[in-house]
Amino acid sequence: MSEFAFELELCARLEERQEGVVARQLGASVADPGGRILDVVCVEPGPEFDDRVAITGESIPDAAIDADVGTGRARYWKDAFDCHPDHARRVTERACEIGFFERERHKSREYVRQVARYPDWYGRIVGIENKPDLGRPGDLEAQLRTDASLALVDEVVLATESYVTRAHLNRIPDAVGVWRVHRPTDPTDADAAPEIEVVREPTQLSVDDPGIEPREFHPGRTDVAVVDRDAKARARRRLAERAYGKGWRTYAFPDCEACRPADGTGATLPYCEWKERVVDAGSECGPSCPGYDPDSEADVDLEAERARRTAWVADPAGTRRRQSGLDQFR
């Protein structure tokens, strides 16, 4: 089974069985941005999750959250950021576009304020590494050791279709949990959902302590970076925000007669009847495929499906309001 199909089917199953946010393919490095990509991220709701839902369906820029902008008196946008003005301008525009900032003009100057206080909206974060075939592990051991030593997420899980032996368990950190994912025995049944068998429970990682992030591996030594508590906390918030805005439905449907939307599990996936499995339209479909039969792309609204199946709202009413008081006439 392809890792892509495995990943989508697992995301659909996780979304069905838990609250919060499920997303995929998110950066989980701090010292080396882009150095580690988590296949799947599950973000559990925090005490103010509903307040976050009410603000925007998009990811809120990290710099906008950190900006010296509150919900009271509006602030001149250039004075609100500790960064290059060009970056501050881009962040301001994006924050206004998605509804986290609102703007007003006073004497030819632009002022901004937050529409609402940034909420304490996320709880535990679980990172999942997908490896359907443990016979082809690639850099699995190094990836999981990075996750365990950095401890950016609360728990790390390895998900696989393979039978898990004691030798497999001995090669990965003790803190990493292991799931064996059982797919339906009939590969032509596109509407059947996989089942998850917990082989080993994950151990809570020390997310509040400094972490160690491996940078480069050399024979006999590893170059590392120490990531302090504050840097980890900011990275966790970025990860949660990216997960909220992105979700996991970031795939296309092939323009092929053989591919049909399969939604028996509640989530609509690109199922190819010729290959008898879920396919990646970008890499597996097209004229080079023997089963390709040109057709119009399926009319599927994945954003509406996410809103229907989860607490996420694409375009909430928001909390924009006119500030009353003398400051609006400055």
* CB-side neighbour CA atoms (13 Å) of 173: 22
Gap between the Cα atoms of 267 and 12, Å rounded: 6
Gap between the Cα atoms of 326 and 234, Å rounded: 35
Residue 292 lies in a domain: no
| pLDDT given at position 187 | 55
Contact status, residue 210 vs residue 162, Cβ threshold 8 Å: no
| pLDDT given at position 92 | 97
Query: pTM of this prediction?
Result: 0.90
Q: Which residues pair with 259 in a beta bridge?
A: 272
Query: What confidence tens digit (pLDDT) does each residue in 63-115 have?
Result: 999 999 999 889 999 999 999 999 999 999 999 999 999 999 998 899 999 99
Residue 241 lies in a domain: yes
Gap between the Cα atoms of 97 and 99, Å rounded: 6
Q: Under DSSP, is residue 7 helix (H, G, I), strand (E, B) or coil?
A: helix
Domain coverage including residue 173: 3-49+120-246
Q: How far is it between the farthest Cα atoms of the chain?
A: 71
Residue 310 lies in a domain: no
Give me the number of domains the chain comprises: 1
Q: How far is CA 108 from the centre of its chain?
A: 39
Task: At 103, list the tokens.
Answer: 């703007």
Residue 57 lies in a domain: no
Residue 149 lies in a domain: yes
| pLDDT given at position 319 | 58
Gap between the Cα atoms of 210 and 49, Å rounded: 26
Residue 237 lies in a domain: yes
Query: What confidence tens digit (pLDDT) does each residue in 294-319 have?
Result: 887 778 899 999 999 999 999 998 65
Residue 207 lies in a domain: yes
Low pLDDT (below 70) residues in the chain: 1, 185-192, 264-265, 318-330
| pLDDT given at position 325 | 38
* CATH number, domain containing residue 28: 3.40.1350
Q: Which residues pair with 212 in a beta bridge?
A: 226
Gap between the Cα atoms of 5 and 299, Å rounded: 20
